[in-house]
Amino acid sequence: MRAHQGGEAEEEKPGRRRWRPLRRIDYPRRGRRGVRRWLPSWRQLLLVSGAGAVALTGLAAWFYATTQVPEDLNAFATQQNNVYYWADGTEMARVGETNRQEVPLDQVPESVQWAVLSAENETFYSDAGISLKGIGRAIYSMATGGDTQGGSTITQQYVKNTYLNQHQDMSRKLSEVVIAIKLDKRMSKRDILAGYLNTSWFGRGSYGIERAAAAYYGKDVSQLNPSEGAFLAALLKGAGQYDPALSADNHQRAEERWSWILDRMVEVGKLSAAERAGYTVFPEPQPQPKAAGLSGQVGYLVDMARTYVEGHSDITQAQFDLGGYQIHTTFEKPKVGALAAAVQEATKGIDPGSREADKLLKVGAASVALDGRVVALYGGPDYRKQGFNNANTSTVPIGSAFTPLVYAAGLSQGVQRERGGSRTPVAPTTSYDGDNGVNVMTPEGPYWGRDGKIVKTANDGKRSWGQTSLRSAVEQSVNGPMMQLAMDVGLDKVQQTAADLGLLPSSMGELVPAFGVGNSTPSAIRAADAYAAFAARGSHTDPYSVLRITRNGEPLTLRLPSAVQALNAAAAGEVDAALKGAVRGGSARAAAEAGPDVAAKPGTTVDRTAGWSVGYNGQLATAVTVFRADLKDMKLLPLEGVGGASPDTPDSELPTRIWTSYMKAAGQPVRP
C-alpha cells in the first residue's frame, strides 16, 4: 500500500517492484532521459570514490600490519656449488660457488659508495626507504607488461636481495615496499648500505663489492678509485649486459654508463669537476680468470652446458651464480677422452718452435648423436690455457664439406635453368661438366664477378673430370658440378636447406657461386649435426648439451629440441649412399679404417685456410676442423706445410686422421 498526501492509501500494482536502496541514491536518475539518466552525478561520484578510498586505505593498513620483516634470510645465505654430471650420472665438475666476502662499510671508499648512490639512489640518506615516484613507475610498468627494474631504492633492493625472491610481480613488489619502510625504521642507513653492497650481484660469480673488486681489478675494495667504483656501480644495472669482456655491445654500454655515473657524482656534489676531468679513460677490467677444476676439456663442456641452460630455461645468470643447481649433461666421458687422445696422437709431429707452418694451429671437433645430443667435443689443448672453444667457432669456412648439403637441396627441390621456367628434377645420375675452369652459368648467361671477370669452376688440383654424375661428384669431391648445381637449384634454396639441417643463419656465407662450395662458416658442432640428418633419413634435431636440470632434487623446466623432418627420406638416402661411396672408393678412402659402413666427406678451401673431415657411422656424426689463426683477430693463415707435409698434401689429411682414429675408438654411443 502507498499513501496519498490526503492520507488515503493506494494499492501498488501487482507484479511491479521497486529497488528502494537505489531510489535512495537516485540511480538511475529521475527526471533524466537517455544517456543522462545513467550518468552518475558528481555527488554520486564523490560517494563511490570516497568508499573506494576508504577500502583501499583499509586494505593497505591491513597489508602493512600483517607483513613482517622475515627473521630468516632467503636462499642467498646458504649457497652451494653448481654440480655438472656426465651422461652416465657420475660427477664431472663442481663450479660456480658464490664468491662473496662481507666487508665493513668503512673499508669501502666514500667515493665508491657515492658512485653507487649517485647511480642507484641519490636520496638514500633522506628518503624513508622507498620512492613513491619510483613505486608508481614500477607498478605502471608491471601493469603494462614492461620492465619492472629501476623503481627501487637501495633499501628496497637490499630487501629483495636478502629476504625475498627475484620474481617481478605485484605481491612481491608490495611486500618489498612494506618491509623496506619497516627496515628503514629498524636499521641505520649505513647498515642498510653495507648490507646492500655485500649482497648485490656484480657478475663473474661475485656477490658483494669486495669480491667484485677482486674479480674485475684484482684488488681489495679499499684500493678502488672513483673511476673503478663508477664501473662497478654500472654493473648493478645488470652485469650480464655491462661486463665489457662479454661483447663489444657490452663494452659500449659499460663505458657510456661509467661516464654518466661520474657526471652524476659531480652533479650531486660528491666529485669535483677537476677530479672528474682526470677520469677520461675507461678503466678496463682484467680478463676473467678461469675457474679452478676446469682444466683439459672439462671447462669447454661446462661452458657449453651453462650457456645451454641459460638459453633454454627460465634461470637467469644471477640465479645461476647463486648455485645449488645439478646439471645433467649429454657428454659421454669415454668419448670425450677418446676424442682428445685422437687429437693428441695425430698432432705429435706438430712443432711450432721450429716450423713456421705449425704456429697458431688450432683443432676443433664435435661428436653428435643422431638425436642431437652432443656427446663429445674438443675445444682446444686446455681450457685454462685457451678458453676459446675451437669446436664452437663460427669463423672457419667449411669448404667442400658443404657440397653434400648442395646435393641434398638439388635432389629434394630440383633445378630451374631458365628464368620463369618450371623446376626440373635431378637424380644421382644427372650429368654435369666436371672439367676445371668451366664458366659458372645463370639463366641469363655467365656469372660475372665483381672483378669484371666471368666466374669459373675450380676443382682440387685443377683436375678435369669430364662429364660427371652428381653422385660421382660428391664421392670424388669434384667441386665444379656442385658449384653449378647450387646455381641451378637457387642459392637461396640451398641456403634454406642448410638452415633446415641446422646451420645457423649467422654462419651462412654470401650468396655468390662460392656459396655452393662452402664459403659458410658453421661450427664443428653444427656441421656434425647437419650430417647426422643424412644418417637419420632426413630427421633433424638441433644439438643440445643438457638432458635435465634440478635444484635441491626438484626438476626444473628445460626446453629441449624436437626432431623435425628437414629433408625427405629419399633425398637423405641418396646423400647417405654418396657419402658411403666416398669412403669405399672416393675422396674419403682414408676414413675406411674407422669401421664398416661409415660415411664421410673431406673438406678443403680454395685459399687453403681450413681442412675438414665430417661423417658418421650408424649412430654418431663427427666433424673435425683444422685451421691456423691468431685468436686476437681470428685472421686465418694458410695450412700448407703443416706438420712438415709436402705442398701437395690435402689440407683434409690431418682432420681425417683425427676423425678416423676417434670414430674407430668411439664405437657405438651409450644411450642415457
The length of the chain, given as a count of residues: 672
Angle at 272 between CA 269 and CA 277, to 5 degrees: 135
Cell numbers that stand for 215 in this block: 674479480
| 659 contacts: CB under 8 Å, gap ≥ 6 | 342, 365, 591, 594, 600, 613, 614, 615, 622, 624
Q: Is the pLDDT of residue 283 over 60?
A: yes
Q: Is the pLDDT of residue 643 over 90?
A: yes
Q: Is the pLDDT of residue 571 over 90?
A: yes
Residue 136: pLDDT band (50, 70, 90) is: low
Q: Provide the CATH topology of domain 97-277.
A: Penicillin binding protein transpeptidase fold (1.10.3810)
Q: Is the pLDDT of residue 656 over 50?
A: yes
**Domain 322-398+521-578+598-672 part of CATH 3.40.710.10:** yes
Identity of residue 284? E
67-71, 137-141, 146-150, 204-208: which has the highest mean pLDDT? 204-208
Query: What's the pLDDT tens digit per position in 167-194?
Result: 444 455 566 677 777 777 778 899 989 9
Strands 325-329 and 82-85: parallel
Identity of residue 323? G
Three-state SS for 444-492 is CEECECCCCCECECCCHHHCCCCEEEHHHHHHHCCHHHHHHHHHHHCHH
Residue the block writes with cell 679513460: 281
Residue 66: pLDDT band (50, 70, 90) is: very low
Which of 73-82, 402-411, 421-430, 470-479 shows the lowest mean pLDDT across its residues? Answer: 73-82
Give the chain's count of helices (H) and strands (E): 23, 22
Q: Is the pLDDT of residue 565 over 90?
A: yes
Residue the block writes with cell 645439478: 326
Q: Is the pLDDT of residue 653 over 50?
A: yes
What is the Cα–Cα distance from 613 to 626, expressed in whole angstroms?
9
Query: What's the pLDDT tens digit per position in 462-476?
Result: 999 999 999 999 999
Which of 51-60, 498-507, 555-564 shows the lowest mean pLDDT across its residues? Answer: 51-60
Dihedral, CA of residue 530, residue 531, residue 532 and residue 534, to nearest 10: 110
Partners of residue 362 on adjacent β-strands: 627
Q: Is the pLDDT of residue 8 over 50?
A: no
Cell numbers that stand for 532 in this block: 647426422
Query: What's the pLDDT tens digit per position in 230-239?
Result: 999 999 998 9
Strands 546-551 and 635-637: unpaired
CA 669 from chain centre, in angstroms, equals 27
What is the Cα–Cα distance from 250 to 244, expressed in whole angstroms?
5
Partners of residue 601 on adjacent β-strands: 614
Residue 581 and residue 475 in contact, taking contact as beta carbons nearer than 8 Å:
yes
What is the Cα–Cα distance from 613 to 600, expressed in whole angstroms?
7
Residue 292: pLDDT band (50, 70, 90) is: low
Residue 475 and residue 578 in contact, taking contact as beta carbons nearer than 8 Å:
yes
pLDDT given at position 290: 65
Distance between the two ends of the chain, CA-based, in angstroms?
86
Positions of E strands within 254-395: 325-329, 361-369, 374-378
What is the Cα–Cα distance from 164 to 173, expressed in whole angstroms?
10
Q: Is the pLDDT of residue 209 over 80?
A: yes
Instruction: Give the CATH class of 399-520.
Output: alpha beta
Query: Mean pLDDT across the stretch 96-103?
Result: 69
Q: Is the pLDDT of residue 355 over 90?
A: yes
Provide the phi-psi class of 31: left if phi over 0, else alpha when psi is between -120 and 50, else beta. left
Query: What's the pLDDT tens digit per position in 197-208?
Result: 988 889 888 888
What is the Cα–Cα distance from 401 to 601, expressed in whole angstroms?
6
Residue 19: pLDDT band (50, 70, 90) is: very low
Which of 36-45, 198-207, 312-321 shows the lowest mean pLDDT across its residues? Answer: 36-45
Q: How many CB atoms lie within 10 A of CB 490?
A: 17
pTM recorded for the entire structure: 0.71
Instruction: Say which DSSP state 13 is in.
Output: P
Judged by DSSP in three states, 396 sits in: coil
CA distances from 283 to 161, 216, 255, 277 (A): 28, 10, 9, 14
| 470 contacts: CB under 8 Å, gap ≥ 6 | 407, 410, 426, 427, 428, 429, 430, 431, 432, 481, 485
- Residue spans per domain, the chain: 17-66, 97-277, 322-398+521-578+598-672, 399-520
Residue 293: pLDDT band (50, 70, 90) is: confident
pLDDT given at position 20: 46
Query: What's the pLDDT tens digit per position in 410-439?
Result: 999 999 988 878 899 999 999 999 999 999
Q: Do domains 97-277 and 399-520 have the same CATH topology?
A: no
